[in-house]
Amino acid sequence: MAVSVWKNEGYDVLAVVVNYNSSAFIGVAKMLLYSLKKLSSYVKLKVLIVDNNSSDNSYEELVRYARMISLDFEAVRLGTNFGFTRAVNIAWHYARKRWFFRYFMLLNNDLVIVPHNVAKLLGFLEVSNVVGVQGTIMHASNPRIIDNAGFAVDDLGLTYAICRGHEFSCAELSYPSYLSGALSIYKVEAVEKLGQPFNNGVECYYDDKHLGLSLWSRGAKLLHVPLLSGFHIGSASYAGRRIFRSPNWFKGIVLAEVAPLYTARKNLWRLVALYYAVAAFVFSLIARSNYVGSYVAALKELKLLKSDSYIELGRVPKMRVIGVLNRVTKGIRLNKNGKA
């Protein structure tokens, strides 16, 4: 079922907002729509709301609010919960059949954008060979602290949130290994070369990572610009910011961290897998949940990615293995030869 309020013309930006049972933070989701309405005063913007079969009336409430503020939008309700990755892919194919747009914006619905700075980011997509861009995203609960300035991977394929936990002064112009799915913008032509934004075989935490690594592998560049672009709650509709999140969250983390080396057929993937095997055992003992089962499920899903030909880690800007958990204070810069 689709609800539409739109103008029959081309757009600069298509913004995709995936919703699922957001009533617990519906105020933030509405603020996102309002900030997108403000963004439309700077660029020609189309908003596509895709609902994963919510059962809490959040879909209806967001549609009512979008109409009330006269947002140029269309809303589609799916018949089942396909998850974020597949919902975005459905939105991509749905939109490409209906409208022309130059840029594709990924958003989480627990984030509020800074419209004038997001509009400025579009200009950086005209830099030679840059196909994706993000600004600096701050924590909604502590607006002085950075959530992320993009993400870096090391030689083992492990992920580090750039500048997480630091003040805005930490952020700098850099070339992340991949961009945040909470708020990032891509050239449509680059996504088209992949067929769609995400691989349907991947889900949370590896989706953005896989997209970024795929684009770098094809010779494109991703850019972080130190512009305050949004305020993010983080995992509001998925796992929250608890120390021990759900076993399903852990499965997503294992898949995201082991997959790069595994799909590149590098034997070091076994070392990374062993690290998470130990973590699964410890988490299961402490939290009394089946993290071990989630670990095993993640390894089984890895087999579906074995033939992934898009990922060439040698072309992705990386950091050396530094042994610092979860975050780093510097982004990745490229030299004159385009090397990290």
- Beta-carbon count within 10 A of 219 CB: 11
Which of 289 and 115 is assigned the larger pLDDT? 115
Which of 241 and 314 is assigned the larger pLDDT? 314
- Ordered by start, the domain boundaries in the chain are 1-109, 247-322
Write the DSSP string, 98-116: T--EEEEEEE-TTEEE-HH
The answer, yes or no, to whether residue 329 has pLDDT greater than 80, is no
The answer, yes or no, to whether residue 304 has pLDDT greater than 80, is no
Span 195-205, average pLDDT: 82
Whats the size of the chain, residue-wise?
340
Q: Are 206 and 84 in contact (CB under 8 A)?
A: no
At position 335, the amino acid (one-letter code) is: N
What's the confidence (pLDDT) of residue 222?
Answer: 97
**Torsion angle (degrees, nearest 10) of CA 262, 83, 9, 46:** -100
Query: What is the residue-averaged pLDDT of the chain?
Result: 88
Dmax (CA) for the chain in angstroms is 57
Buried b / exposed e over 19-35, threshold 16 CB at 10 Å, is bbbbeebbebbbbbbbb
Show the CA angle centred on residue 214, arms to residues 211 and 216, nearest 5°: 110
Q: Which of 97-101, 211-215, 253-257 has the lowest mean pLDDT?
A: 253-257
Buried b / exposed e over 322-335, threshold 16 CB at 10 Å, is eeeeebbeebbeee
DSSP state of 2: E
What's the confidence (pLDDT) of residue 241?
Answer: 47
Which CATH superfamily groups domain 1-109?
Answer: Spore Coat Polysaccharide Biosynthesis Protein SpsA; Chain A (3.90.550.10)
Q: Are 191 and 71 in contact (CB under 8 A)?
A: no
Closest CA to 89 of 176, 210, 179: 210
pTM tops 0.85, yes or no: yes
Q: Are 48 and 74 in contact (CB under 8 A)?
A: yes
Tokens 């596509």 belong to residue: 48
Name the strand (E) or helix (H) holding 230: strand 221-232
Span 310-327, average pLDDT: 71
118-162 per-position pLDDT tens digit:
999 999 998 889 999 999 999 999 999 999 999 999 888 888 999
Span 50-62, average pLDDT: 96
Q: Residue 243 — very low, low, confident or very high, per pLDDT cuts 50/70/90?
A: very low
- Residues pairing with 156 in the sheet: none
